[in-house]
Structure 1
Amino acid sequence: MEGRFVSHKISRVRWLPVSGSSLQLPEYFATGSWDAEQNKVCLWETSNTEGIETDQLFLEDPKPLCSINHQGDVMDLQFLDQERIITASSTGSVILFRCHLNDQKLSILQEWERAHYHSHSNAPCTSLVCNGPEIISVGEDGRINHLQADQKEPVRTIDNADSSSLNAVTFLRTTEVLTVNSIGQLKIWDFRQPGNKPRQIYSLTGDRVPLHCVDRHPNQQHIVATGGQDGTFCIWDVRQGSIPISLLDAHSAEMWEVHFHPSNPDHVFTCSEDGSLWHWNASVTTPDLPSFLQQGRRNFSISGSGANVDLNQSVTCAWLTMDAAKGRVDISNLLSAYVLSVNSLDVVGEQLVCGTDGEAVYITHDLEL
């Protein structure tokens, strides 16, 4: 499947948050590039008009509004608000940009140089998460930084948070973050507590498979999803136990991002090095679909507590209660013909955008939720 060529490999893509009613559709998104002589952060405008239909995706001509050079690969990118973008760099820096939509330009507001480093070299900053002006960064140096948008110095740094690379981070609560690392562990950090020890540690059993991504359920803070180097999709309940409550065979290569749908979290979206972009639907089952309607879809049983799941029962409590046989998840591959890595995705309402190593961006305006 051909994508819309944007002249650089996309490492991260994010919708600009919309103001006011949640019914308002996003019109702008930002991308960050990697593996280029000169990487860039770009801002794009897209319309909600009909594009060229190809399978489930609409290929659009997003209009480039502006771009700015970025030192190093863009390892992560988040909107702090409607006017500011924060990025994580492979150089170890964290960079804050201002979006001037009216003037169609981007400018640097602040840079925290060497926020992540080894003793004799820089260490890539791998992931960021924002909550208002609060910014948390993690990196390959095992360091956690608590930054504020209007302060040059970190509010707090946990220098020896982890002996392995921290690959992703998300907020659980206002004062708590959860990190995943390269030996298959989840750790909860409470910034009200002194020292450099996590409040709790969770881990995959067996092989220490690196975890690359994490997302928190938007309504139930104790439910988190992770994806790892082996493509496995895990659901965790951080209130109980130290291992995942469900573990699903998913992609055939590294899973780079996982996102609960922000307003319909029975739906989850994942993307992978294997070139697939999956829509996981745990809200309903479709046991009697004609075979011609099941093309491009896969049905996976959810396993948990060592029990196999009855494929003919519905998911009564999506993602969470895995005991007593709860059902199956319906999966659609939204990029069934794609072969290069899909590195990033973002979803709002019925709109999804993803970026790839094929120097292409794909957009759909009509997800089936």
Structure 2
Amino acid sequence: MESAKYVSQKVSKTRWRPVSYSSLQQPDIFATGSWDNEDNKISIWSIGNHHGSPGLEDGFEGDPQLICDFKHDGDVLDLQFLDQEKIVTASSTGAVTIFRHHQNSQTISVSQRWARAHRYPCDNAPCTGVVCSSPEIVSVGEDGRIIVFRADQEGVTRVIENADSSTIHAVTYLRTTEILTVNSIGQLKLWDLRQQSSSPSQILSLSGDRVPLYCVDRHPNQQHIVATGGQDGMLCIWDVRQGNVPSSLMEAHSAEMWEVHFHPTNPDHLFTCSEDGSLLHWETSSHADMPSFLQGGRTSSMASWGAVTPAGGNQSLISAWLSRDSGKSRLETTHMLPSQTLSVNSLDVLGQCLVCGTDGEAIFVNRQVPV
């Protein structure tokens, strides 16, 4: 079941509000941010049942309904939920802001703001990405800075001043104390936040071409596996323990890849979206997870796939994403959207629900993602 909602603004970011996994509920609230509009805003939407909710437009059940919105200074370049109520945004003005969604009154207010977190000596520098592990927030920017904040403190916890001489485009947590950044010259850098050093603990890069990388996501169960995408539309899978080049490269899109996301609870599924107007669902079948008696015959050779077994590790920990021989990797790709012409800027997936936002001023919601 898919619904499209036209929202008369270009949607730059879209994220589901987290749900508690124990409750097995499907997500029903998501947030969006806009860009390249005269007045940008962040908006909260619901796809739940609206029995007499105030101020909601008429619409079919399951259609996204706007609950509330709030003006945002500058383009929303990233947006993440800190918890059930708080949303952190990265702005083209260089600001990092925490907004609070008040669920009783269905209003939004600014909870905290670091106005010129990212800046050049005489101008603002866009804040390009944020990642949260409550109460900690890490932001990156065009100024090559990495900044660590705490939601419960007004000051800045830590700044790595010259973390990068080029633009840092995105950041993710690798572990509780380690982050990974990607930059405009095709490098991934690992940072250990326990170290006071201002240099990365590891640098990985695409050999040869310095293709800007725009997005990164970490495998939810195997923290050494990350996926990146960038200007050339290629999907790269990396094993940060093995060497400094990607384990596998796949032709994904014909233009810039803006976001990549592993499914948070079923990481054999991965999703990418692009400037080329497409949203792809990638599915790999991991034969290593099959009991050995099912692996007889032709599939037995697929179990190892050239991936290196971790030292002292167990064969079933080898991810199908690290296959170097994609001829055997049974990777299936599905287009998730009707033919699009304008950029798909952002996507998020949780449970069986997927949401994406486009430059065509539309939000698409699919509530039956086959994962």
Which residue of 136, 144, 147 maps to 2:146?
A: 144
- Measured against aligned partners, the alpha-carbon deviations of 1:110-167 in whole angstroms (never above 9, x if no partner) come to 1001110011110000001001101000000000000000111111000100000000
Aligned to 2:219: 217
- Asked if the contact 2:285–2:329 (Cα under 8 Å) also holds between the matched residues in 1, the reply is no
| Superposed displacement of residue 284, structure 1 | 7.0
| Superposed displacement of residue 101, structure 1 | 1.4
SS at match of 2:320: coil
| Superposed displacement of residue 304, structure 1 | 8.4
Aligned to 1:27: 28
- Measured against aligned partners, the alpha-carbon deviations of 1:49-83 in whole angstroms (never above 9, x if no partner) come to 9xxxxxxxx99521111010000000000000001
Are the structure 2 counterparts of residues 333 and 160 from structure 1 closer, same or farther at C-alpha, using a change threshold of 3 Å? Answer: same
Give the distance between the partners of 1:72 and 1:196, measured in 2 at CA: 29
Give the alignment of 1:75-90 within 5 angstroms.
75-90=77-92
Give the distance between the partners of 1:242 and 1:117, measured in 2 at CA: 31
Name the amino acid aligned to 1:42: S
| C-alpha RMSD of the superposition | 2.1
Gaps of 5+ in 1: 50-57, 286-302, 306-315
Is the aligned partner of 1:356 residue 2:358?
A: yes
Gaps of 5+ in 2: 51-59, 288-304, 308-317
Give the distance between the partners of 2:9 and 2:84, measured in 1 at CA: 24
Are the structure 2 counterparts of residues 367 and 244 from structure 1 closer, same or farther at C-alpha, using a change threshold of 3 Å? Answer: same
- Asked if the contact 1:60–1:362 (Cα under 8 Å) also holds between the matched residues in 2, the reply is no
- Asked if the contact 1:267–1:283 (Cα under 8 Å) also holds between the matched residues in 2, the reply is no
- Measured against aligned partners, the alpha-carbon deviations of 1:166-205 in whole angstroms (never above 9, x if no partner) come to 0000001111000000000000001111121000000001
**Number of residue pairs matched?**
334
Give the distance between the partners of 2:281 and 2:119, measured in 1 at CA: 36
Give the distance between the partners of 2:104 and 2:27, measured in 1 at CA: 16
Name the amino acid aligned to 2:99: F
Aligned to 1:169: 171
Give the distance between the partners of 1:282 and 1:2, measured in 2 at CA: 27
Give the distance between the partners of 2:14 and 2:43, measured in 1 at CA: 10
Runs of 4+ in structure 1 off by over 6 angstroms are none
Is the aligned partner of 1:7 residue 2:8?
A: yes
Aligned to 2:55: none
Give the distance between the partners of 1:196 and 1:245, measured in 2 at CA: 27
| Superposed displacement of residue 2, structure 1 | 9.2
Name the amino acid aligned to 1:24: Q
Give the alignment of 1:150-189 within 5 angstroms.
150-189=152-191
- Length-normalised TM-score, structure 1: 0.87
Aligned to 1:311: none
Are the structure 2 counterparts of residues 345 and 324 from structure 1 closer, same or farther at C-alpha, using a change threshold of 3 Å? Answer: closer
- Asked if the contact 1:214–1:224 (Cα under 8 Å) also holds between the matched residues in 2, the reply is yes
Is the aligned partner of 1:17 residue 2:18?
A: yes
- Asked if the contact 2:3–2:62 (Cα under 8 Å) also holds between the matched residues in 1, the reply is no
Give the distance between the partners of 2:279 and 2:306, measured in 1 at CA: 24
Give the alignment of 1:309-320 within 5 angstroms.
317-320=319-322
Identity %: 62
Give the distance between the partners of 1:235 and 1:354, measured in 2 at CA: 22
Aligned to 2:315: none
Aligned to 2:298: none
Give the distance between the partners of 1:233 and 1:7, measured in 2 at CA: 31
Name the amino acid aligned to 1:278: L
Aligned to 2:314: none
Give the distance between the partners of 1:30 and 1:205, measured in 2 at CA: 37
Are the structure 2 counterparts of residues 170 and 324 from structure 1 closer, same or farther at C-alpha, using a change threshold of 3 Å? Answer: closer
Is the aligned partner of 1:129 residue 2:131?
A: yes
SS at match of 2:354: strand
| Superposed displacement of residue 279, structure 1 | 0.1
SS at match of 1:319: helix
- Asked if the contact 2:3–2:364 (Cα under 8 Å) also holds between the matched residues in 1, the reply is no
Higher helix share: 2
Give the distance between the partners of 2:326 and 2:168, measured in 1 at CA: 35
Give the distance between the partners of 1:325 and 1:276, measured in 2 at CA: 24
